[in-house]
């Protein structure tokens, strides 16, 4: 891997937590403006569409940032897989497979969440749009996509953390960053300020980026894999 490849992968590592944070802040600016109605799915969909219509510029911004994040997230997980593969091929395979599921899940999330809401929010007949949005939730493919997005991303981050730790490529402060982010993901806070917790992923990602350059790889003493 030459310097250009290292810089591209390092860019993905450093940009992905920043873009993730920016996307969450923009999305929550809209999503926090509607109250969920668990007793009436159609009314709930209508309220969500109204919030998106009122903040359509923010919604579009969140969607475009999410696209950019998907690309950088793929690069970040690829970088981790490459680093783990230097000492642990089995762990690298797990990182790669779970990373692939995560990236596909995030791409599907863009398609089943951002696209229909943006489109239906501009529909003049709000009641018809709300019924159409509610009907989308009955499709099994949507459930599969949601599982890939949530469970796949959780599995990818856990696999990345464990893989890096087992091949001794993750310092304690990087492991702390992974643990803090996983805790935030489990708690699932929808507060806008809580989105800043995504930036703790910079800790492990910086640790990986520092080891990607050819010089760093050459200078680092190889250790036996612990897989």
pTM, two decimal places? 0.87
- The torsion region of residue 188 among left (phi > 0), alpha (psi -120 to 50) and beta comes to left
> Do 19 and 72 meet the contact criterion of CB atoms below 8 Å apart?
yes
Range of the domain at 138: 3-219
- pLDDT of 221 reads 43
Q: Name residues whose C-beta falls within 8 Å of residue 45's C-beta, 6 or more positions apart in sequence.
A: 129, 130, 131, 133, 134
Report in angstroms the alpha-carbon separations of 120 from 11, 54, 108: 35, 13, 18
Considering the domain boundaries, does residue 225 fall inside one?
A: no
- pLDDT of 20 reads 95
Which residue in the block uniquely carries the two structure tokens 């099994």?
140
Considering the domain boundaries, does residue 224 fall inside one?
A: no
Closest CA to 85 of 116, 30, 77, 51: 77
Count of structural domains, the chain: 1
DSSP assignment of 64-122:
HHHHHHHHHHHHHHHHHHHHHHTT-HHHHHHHHHHHHHHHHHHHHHIIIIIHHHHHHTT
Considering the domain boundaries, does residue 211 fall inside one?
A: yes
In tens digits, the chain (227 residues) has pLDDT values of 788 888 999 999 999 999 999 999 999 999 888 887 778 888 888 999 999 999 999 999 999 999 999 999 999 999 999 999 988 889 999 999 999 999 999 999 998 899 999 999 998 888 898 888 888 776 788 888 889 998 999 999 999 999 999 889 899 999 999 999 988 887 777 777 888 999 999 999 999 999 987 655 444 444 444 44
Considering the domain boundaries, does residue 105 fall inside one?
A: yes
């Amino acid at each position: 891997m030459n310097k250009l490849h290292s810089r591209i992968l390092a860019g993905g590592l450093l940009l992905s937590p920043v873009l993730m944070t920016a996307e969450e802040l923009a999305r929550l600016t809209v999503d926090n403006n509607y109250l969920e109605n668990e007793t009436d799915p159609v009314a709930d969909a209508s309220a969500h569409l109204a919030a998106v219509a009122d903040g359509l510029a923010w919604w579009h911004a969140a969607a475009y940032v999410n696209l950019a994040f998907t690309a950088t997230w793929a690069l970040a997980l690829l970088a981790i897989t490459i680093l783990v593969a230097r000492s642990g091929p089995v762990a690298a395979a797990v990182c790669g497979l779970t990373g692939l599921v995560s990236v596909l899940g995030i791409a599907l999330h863009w398609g089943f969440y951002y696209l229909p809401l943006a489109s239906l929010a501009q529909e003049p007949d709000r009641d018809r749009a709300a019924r159409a949005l509610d009907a989308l939730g009955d499709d099994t493919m949507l459930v599969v996509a949601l599982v890939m997005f949530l469970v796949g991303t959780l599995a990818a981050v856990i696999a990345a953390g464990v893989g890096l730790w087992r091949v001794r490529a993750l310092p304690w402060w990087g492991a702390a960053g992974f643990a803090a982010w996983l805790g935030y993901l489990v708690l699932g806070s929808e507060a806008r300020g809580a989105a800043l917790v995504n930036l703790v992923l910079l800790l492990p990602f910086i640790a990986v980026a520092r080891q990607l350059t050819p010089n760093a790889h050459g200078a680092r003493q190889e250790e036996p894999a612990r897989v």
